[in-house]
Structure 1
Amino acid sequence: MSFLVLLLAVWIEKFSALRQRVQRDGWWLKELARLEASPRLAGHPWCLLLVLVLLPVALLGLLLLVLEPVTYGLLALPVHLLVVIYALGRGDLLGGLGPFRDAWRREDLQAAVHVAKRDLNIDADNGEQLLERVQGYLLWQAFQSFFVVIFWYFLLGPVAALSYRLLALAAEHGKNPALVERAAQLRHAFDWLPVRLLAASFALVGNFVAVSRVMLHELLNWHISAAQLVEKVGLVAAEIPPPLAGPEGINSLDRIWELQLRAAVLWYAGFALWTVLA
């Protein structure tokens, strides 16, 4: 069922607006703000995470435990699908890059800086740094929006996928520094294995030798973040040249996206093979 859910999730992502209707975080963010303001819980970040992450995940697990034996699990299928869609990243990654691409293609650095700050929340001191940060943004967002979610869903099911997204929301929107720190630590643990598997995928579908050189030093490095690692590996795998203004700079973003598409196809082929052999 896991592979079927992943196929349906991609189809819905491409051809349906269901994702926008499912990914509504307002209720959870309100509860986050309310609990962070509570004098009793403000100094206990682990208790906050128990309520904000473990409680919803436990309720989901209980629901699935009830539904799985019924009609051979068919009633659980829509729950799996909705959870996976909810756990995917927020926003339209390619659509959000559109204004930046247009400004960079025109070699309008001022407009590129403005739209990067407005749409991507990226600041830079110069044009080269700006393009490098947008390239890193594309790699990181694709990883945290898609690859890590489908990895944990396929390996451990919807409970793991939902746990990752709630931890990500806590780390990104939390106001309590202790809560944000602990959510980020747990998210880093979730990221550690799939980002290395994605790096191996980039090696297979990109520049194998260049990726191997990077991973030789970073394979077991616990302290490097997933965002840093996926950026380092992605740029060498796609053989991205130094930042250039105009169409050549935009071409680098296209090459990164194509690399990620090839890696996604490789992952789905691996999932399919595992499903057949298991």
Structure 2
Amino acid sequence: MNFLVLLLVAVILRFTPWRGGFPIDVLGYWSDWVGRVTRGRSSWLFLIMLLLPLPLLAVVLWLATGVAYGVLTLIIHTLLVLLCVGRSDPLGTMTSAVGEAWQRGDQEAASVLAERDFGVVGDDAAVLLQGLRGRMAAEACHGYFVPAFWYVLLGPIVAVGYRLAWLASQRSDAGGNAFAGALAHALEWLPVRLMGLSFALVGHFDATLAVLRRVVLQWEPQTVQLAQWFTAAALTESSAVPVAQPLDVMRTFLLRAVLVWAVVIAFISLMG
């Protein structure tokens, strides 16, 4: 059922207005609320309250088992995965404003938009492009690859738990956000390296594999930094692409990486 759920989610993301997942950012609202009510209190209280929905969701899934021949379970799984999808849409509109400025040849506007929207600063077009590509890869990792990995491996509860931890580490100013960040980093450790392997398969294989070998056992590098390194290595030979639409190359590249993951997940589902 895992592959069917991910296929349904992919169809919803592609052919409906829900490009950024579920229309209401339920997990984001919960993370923000927990951060407010636990501000100044124990970090453990923050983490416990943040993850409180997980056992409740587990009970709901248990009660739904076998109802309507599994259709209810399928619907709940699909909704939960949609809640875990990132809202930035790196495969679509995430960098559309910067891309339009680039297409007009307005390098200054592209630089301003990149710094304002993504915190990417570059002295020239090449550095700016590399930073934007790395940011797109990082958003794809947080919003697609990591939730999909944990959903296939351990089910929707762990995927939701990762999304809550990541949101808390990004949005909350409570003391527990360091705990949430450490949890998110731990859950990203393996998936981001598998993402790097998929980048090697669809990009420059030798260069990306060399980077992957160097960092495969390291704990310290953050996902954003790894995404930058993997992307720069995988797209080493893309400098010959016309500069008019440089970010389209990255979108196509990410789509190919997603297809690699889809093929592997389909194979695992068939074998299982």
TM over 0.5: yes
**Residue 35 of structure 1, CA deviation:** 1.7
**Residue 230 of structure 1, CA deviation:** 2.0
Q: Which amino acid aligns with 1:223?
A: E
Contact 2:169 2:181 in 1 (8 A): yes
Determine which of 214, 221, 225 is the counterpart of 1:224: 221
In structure 2, C-alpha distance between the alignment counterparts of 1:197 and 1:29, rounded to whole Å: 27
In structure 1, C-alpha distance between the alignment counterparts of 2:169 and 2:8, rounded to whole Å: 29
Cα-to-partner distance string for 1:105-128 (whole Å, 9 max, x where unaligned): 33323311332234x232425234
Contact 1:122 1:133 in 2 (8 A): no
Q: How does 1:71-86 map to 2 (within 5 A)?
A: 71-86=68-83
**Residue 104 of structure 1, CA deviation:** 2.0
Contact 1:122 1:134 in 2 (8 A): no
Q: How does 1:26-45 map to 2 (within 5 A)?
A: 27-37=29-39, 42-45=40-43
Structure 2, unmatched stretches of 5+, are: none
Contact 1:5 1:80 in 2 (8 A): yes
Contact 1:196 1:219 in 2 (8 A): yes
In structure 1, C-alpha distance between the alignment counterparts of 2:252 and 2:7, rounded to whole Å: 19
Q: Which amino acid aligns with 1:81?
A: T
Report the TM-score when normalising by structure 2.
0.90
Contact 1:235 1:256 in 2 (8 A): no
Report the TM-score when normalising by structure 1.
0.88
User: Could you say what secondary structure the match of 2:245 adopts?
Assistant: helix
**Residue 30 of structure 1, CA deviation:** 4.8
Question: How many residue pairs were aligned?
Answer: 268
**Is 2:120 the partner of 1:126?**
no
Seen in structure 2, the aligned counterparts of structure 1 residues 27 and 208 have a Cα distance that, compared at 3 Å, is closer
**Residue 2 of structure 1, CA deviation:** 0.9
User: Could you say what secondary structure the match of 1:248 adopts?
Assistant: coil
Cα-to-partner distance string for 1:12-45 (whole Å, 9 max, x where unaligned): 00111343524345641452243233xxxx2411
Determine which of 146, 149, 161 is the counterpart of 1:151: 149
**Is 2:212 the partner of 1:215?**
yes
Instruction: With a CA cutoff of 8 Å and minimum separation of 6, indicate the structure with the bigger relative contact order.
Output: 2
**Is 2:271 the partner of 1:269?**
no
Q: Which residue of 2 aligns with 1:164?
A: 162
Q: Which amino acid aligns with 1:257?
A: R
**Percent same amino acid at aligned positions?**
34
**Residue 268 of structure 1, CA deviation:** 0.9
In structure 2, C-alpha distance between the alignment counterparts of 1:78 and 1:113, rounded to whole Å: 42
**Residue 71 of structure 1, CA deviation:** 3.9
Determine which of 239, 252, 265 is the counterpart of 1:258: 252
Determine which of 175, 180, 185 is the counterpart of 2:182: 185
Structure 1, unmatched stretches of 5+, are: none
User: Could you say what secondary structure the match of 2:262 adopts?
Assistant: helix
In structure 2, C-alpha distance between the alignment counterparts of 1:232 and 1:134, rounded to whole Å: 12
